[in-house]
Amino acid sequence: MCGIVGYVGNKNAQDFLISGLKRLEYRGYDSAGIVTLDVKGEPTLLRAKGKIANLEEKLAANKRDDTIGIGHTRWATHGEPSEENAHPHRAGEIFLVHNGIIENYKELKEHLTEHDFKSQTDTEVLAALINSFYKDGKYSLINAVVQALKLVKGTYGIAVVSCKKPDEIVVARSGSPLVIGIGHDETMIASDASALLGHTKQAIYLNDGEVALVTSNSVEVKTLNAEPVSAKVEEIETNLAAIQKGGYEHFLLKEIMEQPESLKETLRGRVNLEEGTVRLGGPGIPEAELRQIKHLVIVGCGTAYHAGLLASYYIEQFTPEITVETVIASEYRYRNAYIPENSVALIVSQSGETADTLACLREIKKQGVKTIGIVNAIGSTIAREVDGGTYVHVGPEISVASTKAFTSQVIAMVMFGLTIAQAKGVKPAILKPYVKEIAKLPEAIHDTLENAKGEVEEIAKKYVDYEHAIYLGRDTAYPTAMEGALKLKEISYVDANAYAFGELKHGPLALIDDRFFEIALVPKGELYEKAASNVQEVLARNGHMIVVTNVEQFDLPVERVIRISDEIEHFAPLLMNLISQLFAYYTTVAKGYNVDQPRNLAKSVTVE
Ligand code: AGP
């Protein structure tokens, strides 16, 4: 997703802007730009298509010691990736950077006849609109921004500077995050706190409908209706090491390999092994209310959706008389779905900023349904708008492909389910096995990763030339297969899809030929025999099958068997998913593609 940075203070603005944009690169972008102002307001605007390195080439010949400026990495929505469409956009004496989508930009543009449009972007329309209020001096910069935003429909996170006032930045947000870093005689702006790390730990998280006037030593926040807001300065809850590669070649491998530690953070203080119980502080639902819960709606997109789907299978296993429905946010938000009495909605999102998930949350809240966040990014919009929540605490997830967040989201939702079951008086003999396995998972994850990574790398190289893949699984291995297929497709661009094993004969079996290879997740258990016979269905069509299993002896004539420990029974699919993560990673490395920033994708999809 697009990234915003801004600086006003006593240091070199160009240096901060470039380093800040590099921190936001992981979010995905296709062009970048910065503008700085000297003490007289003389602007230096630099923009480039492609990577920030291209922008740095231009910077080398345009070094300035300016101390105020704004910058942007753009992920194209309106207008192709190009220098003309890159932000900042200029209108008169102002420059603007913008995250989000101005939905009514076409009708606004019709009235802005005095502006000579140079780009195809909705952002330039917003810049021209602000300037239409600013240019004749009737409004100050912040008031011109307010007047313009009152006419805007859509989402925005913006930063604006003016050549007339080279000591102030105006920022505003509605639907796209903005954080203000408080330094000593300097103030920084970013769309993601990671850009502030190493500069300050103090931050103000702007809320929707707020606008702020920022100088090197002041921040004044108000609403669009000019009501002053007493902004809360918060501690940024992460550190520099967490957003660096720590010796790994890619963030993705680092985040796969740190899952033992990240899951431990998710479990910290929440599991009582002696009692065999869990305790979640965040949701804040009284015991009596937990007992009344009859229906769960789990909402997410992509990997978060898969985590919810997998968690729903587990919650049904140990929580009687409740129904669990897992829905894709972008679909559910437009359905006229009835949510019955005694329901709770789990809103799952690593970034806490996904537009469709946020919109779904707001729709569900309109029905008066209690909403619980399963979120990673501290202070994110979803985390702030839910009624209660459980942070998964896996630390910043930088790589576009989500891995450690998935594992912890599943377990966090399972723990929420166990909390309900405990309140409903489900026998400890039913719940304790799950709690014991949860406590053992970090170590089991560590062992699985260490034991499998060399073998998976070797196998990935052997299958690197296939363009089509099928993931297969039954029961809890089916949502896990869906997640495995997503991992492979989103970073290696292999056409990978998942099917429930039982669905093969209803159509997908027709696909099997030498263009495809298959990865089957086959855990021990009452459905093992059925899955084994499904494997034989594929082998009978000369499938090229890899089986991931925790059975001791798997002797069907598949091409490869990747064996994992059988010490974990219920959550074996989470260990199998590690194999899928590693397989996607090594396949992508073998193909030579960009592991952390795959084409066309962004880490946090804050536009619809
Ligand atoms: C997962 O690997 C993808 N990057 C994507 O599907 C992601 O899970 C989805 O966009 C949801 O993001 P969120 O968890 O931040 O809401």
- pLDDT tens-digit readout, 155-183: 899 999 999 999 999 999 998 889 999 99
By alpha-carbon position, which residue is closest to atom 6 of ligand 1?
302
- Span from the CA of 125 to the centroid of ligand 1 (angstroms): 30
Consecutive H or E run containing 159: strand 156-162
pLDDT score, position 112: 95
pTM of the shown model: 0.79
Domain spans of the chain, in order of start: 3-242, 245-426, 451-593
pLDDT score, position 245: 79
- Span from the CA of 575 to the centroid of ligand 1 (angstroms): 20
pLDDT score, position 1: 62
Mutation test residue for ligand 1: of 75, 251, 306, 351, the one with most atoms within 8 Å of CB: 351
> Angle between the 259-267 and 428-462 helix axes, to the nearest 10 degrees?
160
By alpha-carbon position, which residue is closest to atom 16 of ligand 1?
349
- Span from the CA of 483 to the centroid of ligand 1 (angstroms): 11
**One fold for both 3-242 and 451-593?**
no
pLDDT score, position 136: 94
Decide the pairing of beta strands 323-328 and 295-300. Answer: parallel
pLDDT score, position 354: 95
Of 47, 145, 157, the closest CA to residue 102 belongs to: 157
Q: Cα-flanking dihedrals φ and ψ of residue 149, to 5°?
A: -65, -25
Looking at domain 451-593, its CATH architecture is 3-Layer(aba) Sandwich (3.40)
Q: How far apart are the first and last CA of the chain?
A: 11
Residue 383 Cβ < 6 Å to ligand 1? no
Residues near 247 by beta carbon (within 8 Å), at least 6 away in sequence: none
- Span from the CA of 289 to the centroid of ligand 1 (angstroms): 31
By alpha-carbon position, which residue is closest to atom 9 of ligand 1?
302
CA of 409, closest atom in ligand 1 = 14
Residue 580 Cβ < 6 Å to ligand 1? no
Helix (H, G, I), strand (E, B) or coil at 174: strand
- Span from the CA of 165 to the centroid of ligand 1 (angstroms): 40
- For the record, the structure tokens of 142 come out as 């912040």
Of 54, 108, 110, the closest CA to residue 81 belongs to: 54
What's the number of CA atoms in the CB half-sphere (13 Å) around residue 267?
Answer: 23
CA of 486, closest atom in ligand 1 = 2
Mutation test residue for ligand 1: of 354, 391, 392, 402, the one with most atoms within 8 Å of CB: 402
Residue 349 Cβ < 6 Å to ligand 1? yes
In three state form, how does the secondary structure of 546-597 look?
EEEECCCCCCCCCCEEEECCCCCCCCHHHHHHHHHHHHHHHHHHHHCCCCCC
CATH number belonging to domain 3-242: 3.60.20.10
* Residue 519 burial by Cβ neighbours in a 10 Å radius (0-12, 13-18, 19+): buried
- 218 CB neighbour count, 10 Å cutoff: 12
Residue 484 Cβ < 6 Å to ligand 1? no
Q: Which residues of the chain have pLDDT under 70?
A: 1, 26-28
Of 118, 133, 117, the closest CA to residue 84 belongs to: 118
- Span from the CA of 345 to the centroid of ligand 1 (angstroms): 18
Residue 581 Cβ < 6 Å to ligand 1? no
Asked if 351 and 191 touch (Cβ cutoff 8 Å), the reply is no
- Span from the CA of 583 to the centroid of ligand 1 (angstroms): 19
**Fold of the 245-426 domain:** Rossmann fold (3.40.50)
Mutation test residue for ligand 1: of 75, 176, 256, 303, the one with most atoms within 8 Å of CB: 303
* CA distance linking residue 205 with residue 357, whole number of Å: 20
Catalytic positions: 2, 603
